[in-house]
Amino acid sequence: MHSSRNVPALLNKANLRPTRQRLALAELLFAKGDRHVTAEALYDEARAAGIGVSLATIYNTLHQFSSAGLLRSISVDTSKTYFDTNTGNHHHFFLEDGDEVIDMPQGSIEISNLPEPPEGMEISQVDVIVRVRSTRK
């Protein structure tokens, strides 16, 4: 998807100054394949990696990256927002037990017979969330 090299180019394209924080966060986010992070989790990870960054900046950055199309935000749970580094067209499993979000392989779901949106409305996105839980109760 987004290669971890040319992070500066990504930021440029998004009209975001390549600041120390943004560079480091983009590196963290896009280096290791597809991920689903919360603000708090990214914050902890950044601090653990020795990146000096505040939580407010984490939030700013996640939102800026989302607006720029580098991330996609997911609401599975009212309690926190997840940010997905995979911006392609795909859907999710949500593990109710551990509050974990997992990508479904792209193309694995087929939706048909989608009704027309209400008058004067257009579809901006279709989200499918398959909630799963452990078989043993």
Partner DNA sequence: ATTTGTGCAAATCGTTTGCATCTGA
Partner DNA sequence: TCAGATGCAAACGATTTGCACAAAT
Stretch that binds a copy of itself, among 2-10, 46-54, 64-72, 103-111 (CB under 8 A): 103-111
Instruction: Give least dist CB 108 to DNA, A.
Output: 27
Residues 79-108 that bind DNA (CB under 7 A): 79-81
| CA atoms of 80 and 63, how far apart (whole Å) | 14
Q: What angle separates helix 20-31 from helix 55-67, to the nearest 10 degrees?
A: 70
Out of 2, 22, 35, 36, name the contact with DNA by CB under 7 A.
22
Out of 53, 76, 85, 101, name the contact with a copy of itself by CB under 8 A.
76
Stated as kind and residue range, the H or E segment containing 62 is: helix 55-67
Count the residues in the chain: 137
Q: Among a copy of itself, DNA, none, what does residue 56 contact (CB within 5–8 Å per kind)?
A: DNA
Q: Among a copy of itself, DNA, none, what does residue 38 contact (CB within 5–8 Å per kind)?
A: DNA
- Please tell me the number of Cα atoms within 13 Å of 56 on its side-chain side: 0
